[in-house]
Amino acid sequence: MPQINWDLSVADVTADRSALKNGASDSFLRSHRKLVIKEWRALVGIVTEKSPLVIDGSSVSVPSTVAVARYGIAAKLSDDPELRHRLQESVSFVAQRLSQGESFYGVTTGFGGSADTKTRQTQDLQSALLQMQHCGILPLDSNDKQPESHSIFDYHIPNGGSYATLTIPDAWVRGTMLIRGNSLARGHSAAQINTIEAVLKLLSQDLTPVIPLRGSISASGDLCPLSYIAGVIEGNPDIKVRSGPRSAPRTIISSPKALEVAGIDPIVLGPKEGLALLNGTSVSTSVAAIAIFEANNLAMLSQMLTAMGVEALSGTAESFEAFIADSRPHRGQRESAHNITNFLAGSKLCRPSVSELPVSGVEGQGGLFQDRYPLRTATQWIGPQLEDLLLAHEQISVELNSTTDNPLVDVKGGRMYHGGNFQAMSVTSAMEKVRQTLQHIGKMLFSQCTELMHPSLSNGLPPNLVADDPSLSFTMKGVDINMASYISELGFLANPVSNHVQCAEMSNQAINSLALIAARYTHTAIDVLSLLSSAHLYCLCQALDLRVRQVLFLSKLAIELRDITSESESFLSFSKSGLDRLHKNIWKLVTVTLDNGATMDSPERFQYAMEQAQPAIIKAAVEEDINIPNSVLSKWVTTTATRSLSLYRDMCKEYNQNPDATPFLANASKSLYEFVRKDLGVPFHKGLSDHPAYHISPELNNQGEICEHLEMRRTTGNRISVIYDAMRSGRLYEVVIKCASDF
């Protein structure tokens, strides 16, 4: 395997604390961007190498958990003789103390609120623990189905897939098996080597226990779900396992069959092994580790999408200047400002800041002097989220390499400690922060996208980002509504889970972390933010095409209007300065009016814009003391409106046939734009003619273009789904990480 620093977060956190203690500037502190890049590269290295992950109790990281959980990497226990000796010592220590007549919780006593019971039948006690926890609700197999009762309810259509709604996803289970094995490998739990290896062998052969989704309060760890892993290795025939290649639907087999396939003999649990397997935070930590990895990637993506939004809305990069961030030196804000500034490098669409314009330019600048809050305060909004994500990442990384069992074996100290490391509040704390972060990011992106859609906010983009006339095309309106739904759900999901704790288990577990519930809902929030981000990226690519098409058209229109005006006999007697002033004033009125008339169809829009430019001509004529007859004005309006419309249609036809915004884009925006347009094959949306059921191909649409063949057309939902799929598979994040690594 490549030499990767698996103990990433612990080393980094120690460095951070040392730097703070010694008064170092925060340039020495951790960077969210660098963390994301480092973890992505670690994941790529592990998945590329394909070698089994060697666990030793202290070297599992977030990316290695993701590699095992989501990308099928195997795991095995280290062959280090010292580690194996330590494990054997732990087992021997418990056996020796028991032989001397000592009593320990969960080894010779009952469990939880029933710990006042005593027994010396230690092996049966561990079986009783498993029996007690095998209480989750799971799909019935064919052997368990009730015989037909001839009731009208014998046949029914389910509300959802039983395995999807009742069982933990395979990826989460695989992560759980890795983390549980790693925790046991620390030598504090009196777990036998063959027990640990049995769990890891099942993992490596992709034999995944079927575990109930609900039922854990993550108080004494995730007892119920972990009991199903223990049930498999003891060969419980009523515990099921998913088996078979992932290229086809997997089959459900019994635990004895799974052990036979894996070449494992059923394990007889030792005096403390039931507790060792069940008593821990491994399920919630697995789910949380996968979540924090995705959340970090979404946070990095959100900064790139913000930079694209600045370009699409003709915003300014001034908001992200280092001086602003340094004057309020929160490290998250400073990092975000640095990131977005670099993502905007090379852009030809950002407008100059007011401070960069001469006085005459400032006076002539229309619209707001500064961008609205969703862009202008993006770094102040994102910055605290990056700080929260770093803390959440630290909490999960520490948990990955912790002993969360009870009681704990201290062989060197010669003691058994009774405590509560199973209380997973650190995981809950991390997940509550992550869900809040996801909601804040979603709200920002939704607000930015709202500006794209609204012609009075978008600096000249058409309503709903339509590429044709707005009277018969509403391209992104449905997407806009969908995004409102997404952000509403995100807002609900951001509510804390931990304030819903209920007293449980004979009041013994009167406080409990609910970590697994918190982590599960964090994944739901990741799902929803991924939907929103995919839709927003689709809208941004559309907006960038429309903006570039607009820029190209306006550059030609400026020349066309100047030529028409200069060629008119009525304006030949103007002085040169007067004519220059006239051109400038006409252009100012035309551009403003074209923006204001964005909701009109093209013929009416250009007619309206030229009519609104007449006051500039009248004022100039008065200043030059020249009489301009109404007939001349009328002719000028008709000529300019007709030629402008013709120019616009020609420009649209030319651009729509080969849309390419890249010459105008910053490097980061260009990379994402090209990924969407070229790699994913998601094209510029041309309007009503792209509707799959609009049967005009190969006829001409209303702009004189040849339409795509019917089989090439897709719904907007399909296009966004392609982006979403690339995001969830990780392909899109390869582009994000490459861009984030360029500075």
Q: Which residues are annotated as catalytic?
A: 105
d(Cα 48, Cα 734) in Å, to the nearest integer? 14
Rg (CA), the chain: 32
User: For residues 733, 739, 742 and 743, what is the CA-based torsion angle, rounded to 10 degrees?
Assistant: -100
Closest CA to 669 of 741, 716, 736, 719: 736
Q: Which residues contact 449 (CB under 8 A, 6 or more apart)?
A: 309, 480, 483, 535, 536, 539, 540
How is residue 528 written in tokens?
Answer: 């929803």
Produce one character per residue of 40-66: b if its CB has 16 or more CB atoms within 10 Å, e if not. bebbbbbbeeeebbebbbebbbbbbbb
Regarding beta strands 75-77 and 53-55, do their DSSP bridges make them parallel or antiparallel, or are they unpaired? parallel
Per-residue HEC secondary structure of 206-248 comes to CCEECCECCCCCCECECHHHHHHHHHHHCCCCCCEEEECCCCC
Q: Which residues contact 78 (CB under 8 A, 6 or more apart)?
A: 54, 55, 56, 84, 185
Closest CA to 417 of 87, 90, 196: 90
Dihedral sign of CA atoms 333, 729, 533, 659 in order: positive
d(Cα 158, Cα 139) in Å, to the nearest integer? 12
Where helices occur in 463-613 by DSSP H, the ranges are 477-493, 515-567, 576-596, 602-612
CB count in 10 Å sphere of residue 558: 15
Q: Whole-angstrom distance between the N-terminal and C-terminal Cα of the chain?
A: 28
d(Cα 707, Cα 690) in Å, to the nearest integer? 7
Residue 32 C-beta-side C-alpha neighbours within 13 Å? 31
* Vertex 285 angle, CA 283 and 286, to 5°: 65
Dihedral sign of CA atoms 722, 727, 731, 734 in order: positive
Closest CA to 312 of 458, 470, 464, 484: 458
Partners of 208 in beta bridges:
242
Closest CA to 305 of 675, 42, 714: 675
Dihedral sign of CA atoms 525, 531, 533, 539 in order: negative
User: Is-contact 88 94, C-beta < 8 A?
Assistant: no
d(Cα 83, Cα 101) in Å, to the nearest integer? 28
Q: Which residue type, as a one-letter code, is found at position 702?
A: N
* Vertex 448 angle, CA 529 and 312, to 5°: 115
d(Cα 116, Cα 106) in Å, to the nearest integer? 10
Sheet strand arrangement including 208-209: 208-209, 240-243, 251-254
User: Is-contact 259 233, C-beta < 8 A?
Assistant: yes
Q: Which residue type, as a one-letter code, is found at position 545?
A: D
696: buried, middle or exposed (CB in 10 Å: 19+, 13-18, 0-12)? middle
